[in-house]
Structure 1
Amino acid sequence: MTDTSDTVRAEEDPAKPVSGLRRVIAMLWADKLAFVAALFLLVIVLCAVFGPMFLQDMAAKTNLRARNAPPFELERGFFFILGGDALGRPLLARIIVAAQNTMMVAAGAVVASMIIGSALGLIAGYTGRWVGEAIMRLADVIMSFPSLLLAVIVLYMLSPSIANLVLVLAITRIPIYLRTTRAEVLEVRQRMFVQAAIVMGASNFRIVFKHILPVILPTLLTIATLDFAFVMLAESSLSFLGIGIQPPEITWGLMVSQGRQYLTSAWWLAFWPGLAIILTTMSLNLLSSWMRIALNPTQRWRLEIGAKKNG
């Protein structure tokens, strides 16, 4: 009997990560819009990772015979289904390749701002009053400048590159995470489990990273999902203004900017990359709404009930 029970446990243990993944998928399926948004974002990520490996040459090769080729005409091949640009390059291939730079800038800026802002927020919320006030005044200084205007000024002075664009956008988003983290820390540090850890003599490092950070991390991840959409729109705006990514590199915002002069004669040059921006932003907002419920233990039951019904 003991051998049988041990065998059952050994067979169940490796399946636990799979059941956790199935639970997340089931919770996603309970919210159909979030499920579709997650699938779309997965496709975008795959395009960003693998697209340039296979389509870089096609996206850069000019063909003046296909100049401003209209969409939905497959005589020139499948990748001309969305039409051709002013130099005869297939728009579908260019949109797939441009996804890498667009996602790279947005992801880099969000990750950098979240790490720096959260670290400063933890320090401001847990340490003494004077240190916290000094850090908050730094956030006020950054927030006193409109984020897009600050990015325009800095990028006008610096050379527009991916690294500078990530740096500028990250700096403008730091106060969001700093203020949120500080407010959360000030509330969580008063809870009983944190006070118990202090009484038991736990170090400040352990209290912050073992007890406080796991509680506020779901909030930060939800904000990061929303912020990803905002940063992507900011990058597209800067590229549209001509101070973002410069050719021969491409982003969706730069493609919209390049198609602006052909709006009356070849609307598809700006429409398709603009549609990619809109759909990605909408998907991020939908996924953020789902994460706000899924990461909240007091509201997660709504999705779990829906997952059980669908199961």
Structure 2
Amino acid sequence: MTSISATPTPQKSSLQIVLGMLWRDKFATAAVIFLLIAILCAILGPALFGDIATKQNLRGRNAPPFELERGFMMILGADALGRPLLARIIVAAQNTLTIAAGAVALSATFGAALGLVAGYGPRWLGNAIMRLADVIMSFPSLLLAVIVLYMLSPSVGNVILVLAITRIPIYLRTTRAEVLEVKERMFVQAAQVMGASSSRIVFRHILPMVIPTLVTIATLDFAFVMLAESALSFLGIGIQPPEITWGLMVAQGKQYLSSAWWLAFWPGLAIILTTLSLNLLSNWLRIALDPAQRWRLEISHKGGK
């Protein structure tokens, strides 16, 4: 009697599964690669290219792009003071992404916390929190930021704080709506019957169900906050020189649009590509974090095998 030994199928790790799902969406893969490059520029850019980005060369004022005889750093041209645009875009990535990440992190943290209280706490407290959100949302976010920054100094910290305050209601209202729906499910009611504390129910059972929605919203909101910061810098009440952001570079190049279009074009292109990448990544996250739609990414391609 011959015994047949079956070879066990190797189990894939969670990282391999996620990377596999990401690879099957080529647009999301390209978006992640671009965002990783932008993050590397934000981390390493000031240390590697900080001196080059601030060194003036009046002989190269408004130098046009693609003149390689001036050196690789001048491939995108130079600004009105002869500073290479490529180096300045790389260095400016730090402030631009730091402001967007800080504002999204603060607004998501406080908004989610208030939303959990409003959805699971006493009714009167939830109503009070929602009225506070209504007050914040009654002001246009950009107008509120303009008013506050006009009274405060336009530093990186103040810009992060102002933009975070204007975005809190988004996470608050979303979290509250999710909590009101999740707390009526059978597993939450079972935990209540078994005597679980409110904090355990909220953080162990409800919050994990809300996080995927918040992650998707935060990815989209990151792009919005970055555009809002660029708008504030364009209006002249955002980050001020010698600090630099992509929005400030666009603002500084607007007066040269007829004679040196590249001064505003390249930083504007960086904003567009980053925003587009975030939107593509958000669309992938919406599918990957939804168990009802995740199968679209988990199925293996059989063609060509």
TM range (shorter): over 0.9
SS in 1 for 2:36: helix
SS in 2 for 1:245: coil
Matches within 5 A, 1:15-164: 19-164=13-158
Matches within 5 A, 1:176-191: 176-191=170-185
Give the one of 205, 215, 224 matched to 1:211: 205
**Which residue number in structure 2 is paired with residue 256 of structure 1?**
250
Report the Cα distance in structure 2 between the residues aligned to 1:182 and 1:307, rounded to whole angstroms.
39
**Which residue number in structure 2 is paired with residue 238 of structure 1?**
232
**Which residue number in structure 2 is paired with residue 291 of structure 1?**
285
1:276-306 deviations in Å (ceiling 9; x for gaps):
0000000000100000000001100001115
Q: Which amino acid aligns with 1:20?
A: S
Give the one of 271, 292, 298 matched to 1:304: 298
Unaligned regions of 5+ residues in structure 2, if any?
1-6
Unaligned regions of 5+ residues in structure 1, if any?
1-7
RMSD: 1.6
Larger relative helix fraction:
1
Deviation, 1:187, is: 0.3
Report the Cα distance in structure 2 between the residues aligned to 1:225 and 1:141, rounded to whole angstroms.
25
SS in 2 for 1:259: helix
Deviation, 1:105, is: 0.2
SS in 2 for 1:45: helix
Report the Cα distance in structure 1 between the residues aligned to 2:246 and 2:227, rounded to whole angstroms.
10
Q: 1:219 to 1:159 in 2, by over 3 A?
A: same
Q: 1:125 to 1:308 in 2, by over 3 A?
A: farther
Q: Which amino acid aligns with 1:53?
A: A
Does the Cα contact within 8 Å between 1:26 and 1:307 map onto a contact in 2? no
**Which residue number in structure 2 is paired with residue 273 of structure 1?**
267
Report the Cα distance in structure 1 between the residues aligned to 2:30 and 2:43, rounded to whole angstroms.
20
Q: 1:145 to 1:308 in 2, by over 3 A?
A: farther
Deviation, 1:309, is: 6.2
Q: Which amino acid aligns with 1:292?
A: R
Report the Cα distance in structure 2 between the residues aligned to 1:21 and 1:73, rounded to whole angstroms.
43
Q: Which amino acid aligns with 2:190?
A: A
Deviation, 1:307, is: 6.0
Q: What percent identity do the matched residue pairs reach?
A: 76
- TM-score w.r.t. the length of structure 1 is 0.93
Does the Cα contact within 8 Å between 1:30 and 1:310 map onto a contact in 2? no
Report the Cα distance in structure 2 between the residues aligned to 1:25 and 1:250, rounded to whole angstroms.
35
1:209-254 deviations in Å (ceiling 9; x for gaps):
0000000100000000000000000000000000000000000000
Deviation, 1:165, is: 0.2
Report the Cα distance in structure 1 between the residues aligned to 2:197 and 2:303, rounded to whole angstroms.
45
Report the Cα distance in structure 1 between the residues aligned to 2:172 and 2:218, rounded to whole angstroms.
12
Query: What is the aligned residue count?
Result: 298
Report the Cα distance in structure 1 between the residues aligned to 2:114 and 2:302, rounded to whole angstroms.
41
Runs of 4+ aligned residues of structure 1 deviating over 4 Å after TM superposition are: 306-311
Report the Cα distance in structure 2 between the residues aligned to 1:103 and 1:300, rounded to whole angstroms.
29
Deviation, 1:126, is: 0.1
Deviation, 1:310, is: 8.6
Deviation, 1:156, is: 0.4
SS in 1 for 2:83: coil
1:60-109 deviations in Å (ceiling 9; x for gaps):
00011111010000112111000000000000000000000000000000
